């Protein structure tokens, strides 16, 4: 009999969404007359921009003709998309990232989950609490030591560089689940920490498009010196409705070097080796669709899409604040982080809202110990439902 990876036994069972679903189904069965509204969904609801669809239709037709048919593509992604990304997401914002520092993928979950493969098991990893669980679980699977950086209300839920040493640090801004962002000064402190500790920052910017406030960095590479110590992850999932279509990318600057046995190797070359061994490229059709985001029409449509989610976010945020609830996020992110009222635990609030308001959210405890006492609400529903959900929450606690 083959042995399995015993590190999997160390993973905590994540019953969060399964438990939520169970409770919601039981409630619906007991109250078939009630309309349940979910502000818990982490998936988008608005369809793909027309610019992406048009580009994909053309690509589909190309695949049907011998002269334009494409088989295996480049492991790192087609140049047309990498060039569009470098220009559209970085150079146009004054950030010096070239097309050959971009690696296209099927999304940020795969990239943030797989990047650990290029790092040695002996590295000490730091993650935040609360956290997007992929960072934790993939490192537990790899058998690495994981240390936790608590994110507290008094720091606006922003992680502060710790006293302890870490070799790899995961940061997520705009943040899931808290909706907070790291400002320039805070990111500078992290780059400084990375330099002092010879650490690498794994920067998840999957929600970058949701940044609205002036002065909030859109990329870690806006910080001086970050190209020597950071990798950045981006996703088209929430930007342009690609959660089911699947496309994202990772930026690994040429300057980033890793070391082993006295030898220095570029992180980008290790990642290329990884991808060429384990990945056969993102579909041509999907990459054409993603390039549609960078056309003038695509840009306009993405702006509208994000604006619609922002409108919902502000309905939740302003509605709750006006009613005397305490919450943050929702300005540069699709997530609102609500403090549980009346000292309720996050699961007690969940049960309360389901029972009294037929509204579903996500208990903060599901994102880590520090998430206890908080509740995540998302802006991905319809505006009509969002308005009604906020009214019902207010009534339930009036």
Site membership for ligand PLP, residue 52 (CB under 6 A): no
| Start-to-end CA span in the chain (Å) | 60
Dist CA 345 CA 334 (whole Å): 23
Which of 52, 85, 86, 108 contacts ligand PLP by CB under 6 A? 108
Q: Does 179 bind ligand PLP (CB under 6 A)?
A: no
- Measured from the CB atom, is 112 or 379 closer to ligand PLP? 112
User: Applying CB under 6 A, which part among 61-69, 235-243, 267-275, 353-361 lies near ligand PLP?
Assistant: 235-243
Task: Work out whether 235 is an interface residue with ligand PLP (CB under 6 A).
Answer: yes
Query: Does the footprint of ligand PLP cover residue 113 (CB under 6 A)?
Result: no
Length of the chain: 398
Please report how close the Cβ of residue 112 comes to ligand PLP at its closest, in angstroms: 6
Work out whether 206 is an interface residue with ligand PLP (CB under 6 A): yes
Angle at 115 between CA 113 and CA 117, to 5 degrees: 100
User: Which of 241, 248, 289, 334 forms a contact with ligand PLP (CB under 6 A)?
Assistant: 248
Note whether 176 binds ligand PLP by CB under 6 A: yes
Choose, by CB under 6 A, the member of 243, 266, 295, 345 that binds ligand PLP.
243
Regarding 197 and contact with ligand PLP (CB under 6 A), the answer is: no
Distance CA 267, CA 258 (A): 6
Nearest approach, Cβ of 248 to ligand PLP (angstroms)?
A: 4
Report in angstroms how near the CB of residue 239 gets to ligand PLP at its nearest.
9
CB of 234 to ligand PLP, least distance (A): 8
> Is 139 among the residues that bind ligand PLP (CB under 6 A)?
no
Shortest gap between Cβ of 95 and ligand PLP (angstroms)? 20
The token duo for 155 is 């720091």
The reply to whether 237 sits near ligand PLP by the rule CB under 6 A is yes
* Comparison of 206 and 258: residue with beta carbon closer to ligand PLP: 206
Q: Whose CA is closest to 382, among 48, 47, 53? A: 47
Q: With CB under 6 A, what is the number of residues at the site for ligand PLP?
A: 14
Which of 51, 95, 97, 109 lies at the binding interface for ligand PLP (CB under 6 A)?
109
Distance of closest approach, residue 209 Cβ to ligand PLP, in angstroms: 12
User: Minimum distance from CB of 179 to ligand PLP (Å)?
Assistant: 11
**Which of 42, 88, 156, 162 touches ligand PLP by CB under 6 A?**
42
Backbone φ and ψ for 211, nearest 5 degrees, come out as -70, 125
**Does 107 contact ligand PLP by CB under 6 A?**
yes
Residues forming a β-bridge with 251: 102, 232
172 binds ligand PLP, rule: CB under 6 A: yes
Closer residue to ligand PLP (CB): 37 or 202: 202
Q: Please, what is the minimum distance in Å from the beta carbon of residue 301 to ligand PLP?
A: 19
Is residue 287 close enough to count as binding ligand PLP by CB under 6 A? no
**44 contributes a contact to ligand PLP by CB under 6 A:** no
Q: Which residues contribute to the site for ligand PLP (CB under 6 A)?
A: 42, 107-109, 112, 132, 172, 176, 204, 206, 235, 237, 243, 248
């Amino acid at each position: 009999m083959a042995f399995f990876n015993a590190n999997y036994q160390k993973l905590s069972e994540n019953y969060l969404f399964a438990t939520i679903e169970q409770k919601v189904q039981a409630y619906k069965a007991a109250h078939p007359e009630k309309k349940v509204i979910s502000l818990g969904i982490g998936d988008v609801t608005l369809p793909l921009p027309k610019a992406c669809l048009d580009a994909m239709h053309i690509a589909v037709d190309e695949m049907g003709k011998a002269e334009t048919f494409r088989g295996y593509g480049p492991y790192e992604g087609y140049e047309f998309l990498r060039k569009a990304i470098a220009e559209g997401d970085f150079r146009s914002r004054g950030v010096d990232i070239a097309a050959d520092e971009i690696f296209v993928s099927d999304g940020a979950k795969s990239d943030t989950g797989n990047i650990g493969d290029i790092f040695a098991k002996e590295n000490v990893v730091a993650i935040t609490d609360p956290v997007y669980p992929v960072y934790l679980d993939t490192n537990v699977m790899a058998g690495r030591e994981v240390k936790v950086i608590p994110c507290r209300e008094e720091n606006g839920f922003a992680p502060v560089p710790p006293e302890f040493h870490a070799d790899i640090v995961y940061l997520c801004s705009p943040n899931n689940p808290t909706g907070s962002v790291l400002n320039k000064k805070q990111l500078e402190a992290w780059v400084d920490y990375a330099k002092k500790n010879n650490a690498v920052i794994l920067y998840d910017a999957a929600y970058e498009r949701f940044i609205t406030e002036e002065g909030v960095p859109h990329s870690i590479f806006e910080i001086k010196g970050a190209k020597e110590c950071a990798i950045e992850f981006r996703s088209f999932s929430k930007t342009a409705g690609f959660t089911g279509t699947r496309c994202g990318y990772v930026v690994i600057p040429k300057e980033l070097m890793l070391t082993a046995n006295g030898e220095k190797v570029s992180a980008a070359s290790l990642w290329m080796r990884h991808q060429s061994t384990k990945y056969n490229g993102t579909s041509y059709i999907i990459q054409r669709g993603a390039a549609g985001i960078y056309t003038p029409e695509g840009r306009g449509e993405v702006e509208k899409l994000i604006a619609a989610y922002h409108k919902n976010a502000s309905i939740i945020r302003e509605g709750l604040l006006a009613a005397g609830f305490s919450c943050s996020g929702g300005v540069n992110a699709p997530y609102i982080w609500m403090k549980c009222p009346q000292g309720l635990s996050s699961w007690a609030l969940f049960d309360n809202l389901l029972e009294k308001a037929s509204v579903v959210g996500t208990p903060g405890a599901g994102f880590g110990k520090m998430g206890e006492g908080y509740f995540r609400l998302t802006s991905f529903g319809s505006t009509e439902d969002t308005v009604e959900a906020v009214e019902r929450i207010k009534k339930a606690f009036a």
